[in-house]
Amino acid sequence: MSAVRVPVAVGEGTYDVVVGTDLLEDLTAHVPPPAGAAAALLVTQQPLIDTGVAPRVQAALRAAGLAVHQVVIEDGEAAKRAEVLAGLWQAAASVPLSRGDLVVAVGGGVVGDLAGFAAATYNRGMAVLQVPTTLLAQVDAAIGGKTGINLTQGKNLVGAFHQPIGVLCDVGTLATLPPRIRTEGLAEVVKYGLIHDPELLDLLEELPEKTAPDADLLQELVRRSAAAKARFVAADTREAGIRAHLNLGHTYGHAVETLAGYGRVLHGEAVAIGTVVALHLGHRLGTTPMEVVQRGEALLARLGLPTRAPALDRDRVWEVMARDKKAAAGAVRFVVLDALASPRVLTPSRADVDAVLDGLAAGQ
C-alpha cells in the first residue's frame, strides 16, 4: 500500500501524519525540514539503534544535507524526568542548535514526550519531527502536541502543548516490537473504535484470535486511529472540551497504572481494564446499551488484553482518580458511551463506581 496522509488542523496551522511502510529513507520528502535548517538533534533509545531504525533516520537526514547529532537516552518511563530533559537541553546547546534547526524524536511515547518537550522549550520553541515506533505512539502519543515529563508526585505534571511539523508512522518499524508492547497499543485502537469509528472494531473483530495484524491492516488501523485523534485535537487543541472524550478508559486506567506500579501493568493494558469499567459504569448509569458493553469487552479479551484489575485499595483508587489533573475539583470524571461513537463525560458517585468494581471483581 502506498503512504497515506492524515491532516491534523490546529490553531497554528496544519501538519500531516504520514502512514505507510518503507518511509524512513524518504523521510525528508514526506516531511520537509524547515527551510534553512542546518542541523538536527536526533533523540532515541538503544532498541531503535539495535533494530536499525535510528540509523536509517540518521542517513535520511544526512542525505538531505543536515548535520545530525544523536542523543541516546535511557530506556523506560523513568527517562521522563528533569535530569534527562536537562541533558537534552545541554546537547542542543553544545551542537549548538539554532531556532531554525530541527529536533527529531525516534522511538515510543517516552522519546516523543521528552524530545517534544525539549523542542518546546529550547530556544523558546523549535521544530520537532515525530517518528513514532510503537503502536501506542503512532496512534496516540505522537499526535496532538502534548509533551512533558513526570514528577515523583505524578505522571506528565510538567509539560507543554507543542505541535510537531509532521508525524511519520512507518508501520514496518513495529515488526520488532515485543508482542506485549504491540498488543497494548491495540487498546487505544479499540478506544477510537468505541468513541468515534466503529469500523475499527469490525477490522479487529475480523482478525483471527490472538494473531498480530499484518502491515496492510496495521496501516489501516493507524490511519483510522490517527484520523480519529486528529478530529478531536482539531476540535479542541488545548483539551478544554471534547478532547476529553479521548480519555475513555483512562480514569480508572490511570489509577491501575499508578497503584499497580508503573511497568507491572502497561499503559495500554490499564486502558483496557479502565475501558471495561467505563463501559459497565455507563450501563449502570443507564446510558450504555449492554450489547456495546459486551462487544467492547469481548474484543479487548480476544486481542489478549486484560479486562479485570488486580485487587486494589478502593480508597486509594478514588484518591488517585480525584487527584488526576484532568479531574474537576473533587469530582471524578468518566467518559461513558451513550452508544457506539457517542461519548460523553459524567461525574458518577463513588457508590456507583464501587458497585461496578464489586460486580467485575465478582466475575460479572
Ligand X SMILES: NC(=O)c1ccc[n+]([C@@H]2O[C@H](COP(=O)([O-])OP(=O)(O)OC[C@H]3O[C@@H](n4cnc5c(N)ncnc54)[C@H](O)[C@@H]3O)[C@@H](O)[C@H]2O)c1
Listing DSSP states for 100-141 in one string gives: TSEEEEEESHHHHHHHHHHHHHGGG--EEEEEE-SHHIIIII
359 part of the interface to ligand X, by CB under 6 A: no
Find out whether 43 and 118 touch, Cβ atoms under 8 Å.
yes
56 part of the interface to ligand X, by CB under 6 A: no
* Catalytic residue of the set 146, 191, 245, 295: 146
324 part of the interface to ligand X, by CB under 6 A: no
Half-sphere exposure (Cβ direction) of 305: Cα atoms closer than 13 Å: 32
Q: What are the angstrom distances between the C-alpha of 104 and each of 229, 252, 323?
A: 21, 33, 33
Query: What's at 254, amino acid-wise?
Result: H
135 vs 356, beta carbon nearer ligand X = 135
* Catalytic residue of the set 239, 284, 314, 350: 239
95 part of the interface to ligand X, by CB under 6 A: no
295 part of the interface to ligand X, by CB under 6 A: no
Among 169-177, 219-227, 270-278, 312-320, the segment contacting ligand X (CB under 6 A): 169-177
253 part of the interface to ligand X, by CB under 6 A: no
107 part of the interface to ligand X, by CB under 6 A: yes
Q: What are the angstrom distances between the C-alpha of 236 and each of 9, 162, 165, 290?
A: 10, 14, 18, 30
* Catalytic residue of the set 80, 229, 295, 333: 229
Which H helix or E strand runs over 142? Answer: none
Catalytic site includes residue 69: no
Q: Which three cell numbers stand for residue 132?
A: 513514532
Catalytic site includes residue 162: no
Q: Which of 25, 64, 89, 176 binds ligand X (CB under 6 A)?
A: 176
191 part of the interface to ligand X, by CB under 6 A: no
Find out whether 15 and 5 touch, Cβ atoms under 8 Å.
no
132 vs 348, beta carbon nearer ligand X = 132
140 part of the interface to ligand X, by CB under 6 A: yes
177 part of the interface to ligand X, by CB under 6 A: yes
Catalytic site includes residue 247: yes
250 vs 280, beta carbon nearer ligand X = 250
251 part of the interface to ligand X, by CB under 6 A: no
DSSP conformation class of 151: E
Name the minimum Å distance from CB 279 to ligand X.
20
Catalytic site includes residue 124: yes
108 part of the interface to ligand X, by CB under 6 A: yes
- Round to whole Å and give the CA distance between 256 and 76: 18
Q: Which of 16, 101, 113, 257 binds ligand X (CB under 6 A)?
A: 113
Q: What are phi and psi of 151, to 5 degrees?
A: -115, 170
Find out whether 105 and 131 touch, Cβ atoms under 8 Å.
yes
Residues in the chain: 364
108 vs 306, beta carbon nearer ligand X = 108
Cβ-proximal residues to 271 (8 Å cutoff; 6+ apart), any chain: 184, 187, 188, 191, 249, 250, 253
Q: How far is CA 182 from the centre of its chain?
A: 13
Name the minimum Å distance from CB 141 to ligand X.
3
Q: What are phi and psi of 216, to 5 degrees?
A: -65, -45
Annotated catalytic residues are 124, 146, 188, 229, 239, 243, 247, 250, 254, 267
Residues of this chain that interact with ligand X (CB under 6 A) are 45, 47-48, 51, 53, 75-77, 80, 107-111, 113, 133-134, 136-137, 140-141, 144, 146, 155-156, 173-174, 176-177, 181, 267
